[in-house]
Amino acid sequence: MNSLTGKVALVTGAGMGIGYALCRALAEAGATVALNDIDAERATQAAEQLNQQLQARRVHAYAADVADVNAMRAIVGQIAARFARLDIAIANAGITLFGRFLEYEPEPFDRLLAVNLRGSFFTAQAAAREMIRRQIEGRIILMSSVAGVQAIGGLGAYGISKAGLRMMARTLAYELGAYGITVNALAPGATLTERTAQETANYEQDWRAVTPNRRVAHVEDIAAAALFLCSEGARHINGQTLIVDGGWTNQSPLPLGY
């Protein structure tokens, strides 16, 4: 296993779901983890729960809305000052606001972009500034989606934001490579979380049926890919999007009803 002992990581949108699993995997690998969520109570509870499991106080809650650039800048500064470094930043927070193009309204569109794109962009910027200031060859990971690779009905606005994150990885990789910082994106396929389990009546069965590997992703599948991107072995991978979807995008069949 790749040890992350001595490293400090920030994960946004991590009170539950994929982000929570990312925090657990990073902390299990030895990292000190700053767990962000917009929901302060959820962030605190999640950090406490992880610390109990780890039998160590390695996860720390930081509540803020990632769309609030000043709040995120302040948090990143606090983390770097408190732990004297920042090695890993995973801009995981993202929202899914469904809606067909012809009916979509400006308010959900603006919020979606504020969280998914603006939030990720400025979180990555704040983290990169700290890494550069402290001469740390850090790792930044952006959370894209297969919806940013393939068009999916009702997920147009979301898909645009997730495609933007793939381009963000390429652009930031280009600008930050000289500092030894890598920036990559992960593009999960349908992943079973507390939220997606409520999305449709038979989420797991529906997606299993249309996925070549005959399973949906579990949060640990995404966390394992993130750990790899944080490992020494991934030091020469930069600006890429790693698709973690059990082969779904090779053909991209949708369950009925989409």
Ligand X SMILES: NC(=O)c1ccc[n+]([C@@H]2O[C@H](COP(=O)([O-])OP(=O)(O)OC[C@H]3O[C@@H](n4cnc5c(N)ncnc54)[C@H](O)[C@@H]3O)[C@@H](O)[C@H]2O)c1
The residues that touch ligand X, with contacts defined as CB under 6 A, are: 12-13, 15-19, 36-39, 42, 65-67, 92-96, 115, 119, 143, 145, 188, 190-191, 193-196
In the complex, the smallest distance separating the C-beta of residue 187 from ligand X, rounded to whole angstroms, is 7
Catalytic residue flag (residue 158)? yes
Which of residues 17 and 138 has its CB atom nearest to ligand X in the complex? 17
Please, where are the H alpha helices in 134-198? 156-176
For residue 84, the minimal CB distance to ligand X (Å) is 25
As measured in angstroms, the least distance from the Cβ of 123 to ligand X is: 9
State the minimum distance, in angstroms, from the CB of residue 258 to ligand X. 13
Closest by Cα among 88, 58, 76 to 119: 76
Name the active-site residue from 158, 174, 179, 203: 158
- Across the strands, what pairs with 184? 141
Q: Which amino acid is at 11?
A: V
The answer to whether 151 touches 255, Cβ cutoff 8 Å, is no
**Choice between 134 and 258, CB closer to ligand X:** 258
* CB of 92 closer than 8 Å to CB of 143: yes
The Cβ of residue 103 has, within 10 Å, a number of other Cβ atoms equal to 7
Q: Which is nearer to ligand X, 45 or 51 (CB)?
A: 45
Rounded distance between C-alpha atoms, residue 136 and residue 89, angstroms: 12
**Is 182 or 211 the residue whose CB approaches ligand X more closely?**
211
Point out the residues that are catalytic: 158
